Amino acid sequence: MKNKSLLLLLLAIVILSLTACRSMQKASGTVENTITVTHALGEAVVKKNPEKVIVFDYGTLDTLDKMGIEIIGLPKSNIPTVLEKFNDDKYEDVGTLFEPDFEKIYELQPDVIFISGRQTEVYEELAKIAPTVYMELDGSDYMASVTKNVTLIGEIFGKEDFVKKELEEINKAIEELNKKITESGKNALIVMANDGSISAYGEGSRFGIIHKEFGFTPVDKEIQVSNHGQSITFEYILEKNPDYIFVIDRAATTGGNVSAQQIFDNDIIKQTEAYKNGRIVYLSSQVWYVASGGLTGTRLMIEDVSKGL
């Protein structure tokens, strides 16, 4: 009887030990299958290969689409043409870029939410629903930001090799473009047209890739760095008389009555060297204004400027 009791005790100890080992293995597996992301707004613990993804950043959406990763929801109010497939009803509309539909997002119970600068004010509320990752894009160091963001996405979705190859190709294209531009010695002015008004962007701005990575000398090094640009006149453009004028038409993206081509068709602009030499380049505004930072978008930005040469 005594031996039987001892046997039962030993059996109980073995069972408890095995249970504990399984629990530790399970806990260890959970840790191994997550990635902790520290970003400018906080920290998020995201499980690898999340299935229910909501995206508020079109640059991130572009990268996910390039990788073949499906999502469940996005804001549909200003989807760029290059991402128009996401207008399909199978993707949930989760609000606008500035006003998320929190109730809808909560109902969808996402595994991860990707946001960008336009959603910084609502980050805390979104983070209460699901792990929320802020994909910061610094125009003054565009490719460093892109590299950081797409590398992170590659790690989350197990696409590291794919990302490495894409970045190698993009960097090679930029190097070739930079060589041509640097050797030409040409300067440039970046202008945004907004339904009749115009503003300029220079070094360190949200469109600074044209200067830093692509190699155009700024025609004016004193342009104020502002999200909305420095308000200018056509007389200012004539005074600076840049070799190239790169134009982003905000109204073409957000809606407006006057196109960039209309307002640039005037006697003052016709006196500039850029106009006389056919060097006023109208960029793919939807990409530059709301969908930069992604793999396909960055390639389109390179192509825009390359064609302008």
Chain segment 95-124, per-residue pLDDT in tens: 999 999 999 999 999 999 999 999 999 999
Residue 31 has a pLDDT of 52
Q: What is the mean pLDDT of residues 168-186?
A: 97
User: Band of the pLDDT at 19, cuts 50, 70, 90?
Assistant: very low
Q: Which pLDDT belongs to residue 20? A: 46
Q: Tell me what pLDDT residue 35 has.
A: 95
Contact 281/305 with Cβ under 8 angstroms? yes
The whole-number pLDDT of residue 253 equals: 75
At residue 252, the pLDDT reads 74
CB 96 within 8 A of CB 77: yes
Question: What pLDDT, on a 0 to 100 scale, did the predictor assign at position 284?
Answer: 94
The pLDDT of residue 210? 97
Check residue 195 and give its pLDDT.
Answer: 82
pLDDT band (50, 70, 90) for residue 23: very low
Query: What pLDDT band is residue 301 in, cutting at 50, 70 and 90?
Result: very high
pLDDT of residue 78: 83
Position 26 pLDDT exceeds 50: no
Residue 261 reports pLDDT greater than 50? yes
pLDDT of residue 174: 98
What is the mean predicted confidence (pLDDT) over 265-279? 96
When the pLDDT of each residue in the chain is averaged and rounded to a whole number, the result is: 90
Give the pLDDT of residue 30: 39
Contact 102, 108 (CB under 8 A): no
Number of other CB atoms surrounding residue 82 within 10 Å: 17
Q: How confident is the model at residue 24 (pLDDT cuts 50, 70, 90)?
A: very low
pLDDT for 251 equals 77
Judged against a pLDDT cut of 60, whether residue 162 lies above it is answered with: yes
pTM comes to: 0.86
Angstrom distance (rounded) from CA 302 to CA 309: 11
Can you tell me the mean pLDDT for 220-231?
Answer: 92
Q: Which helix (H) or strand (E) holds 245?
A: strand 244-249
Fold of 180-308: Rossmann fold (3.40.50)
With cut-offs at 50, 70 and 90, classify the pLDDT of residue 32: low
| Location of each CATH 3.40.50.1980 domain in the chain | 32-160, 180-308
Rounded mean pLDDT of 209-234?
95
Give pLDDT, residue 14. 39
Residue scoring higher pLDDT (104 or 25): 104
End-to-end CA distance of the chain: 95
State the DSSP code for 216.
P
Could you tell me which CATH class the domain 32-160 is placed in? Answer: alpha beta
The three-class DSSP label of residue 174 is: helix
pLDDT tens column, 226-249: 888 999 999 999 999 999 999 999
Whole-number percent of the chain with pLDDT over 90: 82
Name beta bridge partners: 114: 55, 133
